[in-house]
Amino acid sequence: MLDKSIVGRQYAPFSVEVEKGRLRAFAKAIGETNPLYLDENAARAAGYRSLLAPPSFGWAIIMEADQGFSVLTDCGIDKARTVHGEQGFVYHNEICAGDVVNGRQTVVDYVEKKGGLLQIITTEIPLVHQDGRPLCDLRSVIVVRNG
């Protein structure tokens, strides 16, 4: 069983290069039609370095870096007992094709409810551009159901 000692646990740093094809595929998959996410010329004309990443693309970076389930795997938690409780994004700068995005996941909170029947794990992953600029802070809440 988990306890408060999990708070502060960090996972290996990662880097992901954002590719144009991946951005276009992601945009199409979520039904995005804004040319900033699909047409590099339109994005450049609007002042961006290249294709712009849709707002929720930060989570795709986390999954590509194999960070989405690392806490569960590390703690031996069966994914079938979990529910995705919440996801939050705070953007500081845009993510564009060609960027190399770096990050590192940290467990920032752990709470038990209903006498341990529910365990709530909160993680944060700041995403940083290769030049050191902050891009996006991701916050994720995982609920583990016991009993």
Model pLDDT for residues 27-41, shown as the tens digit of each residue: 999 999 999 999 999
What per-residue confidence (pLDDT) applies to 101? 97
Higher pLDDT, 93 or 3: 93
Q: What does the alpha-carbon distance between residue 118 and residue 114 come to, in Å, rounded to a whole number?
A: 6
What per-residue confidence (pLDDT) applies to 100? 97
Higher pLDDT, 68 or 135: 135
> Residue 139 pLDDT > 90, yes or no?
yes
Q: Are 97 and 50 in contact (CB under 8 A)?
A: yes
Domain ranges of the chain: 4-145
Distances (CA, A) of 61 to 110, 111, 133: 24, 27, 17
**CATH number given to 4-145:** 3.10.129.10
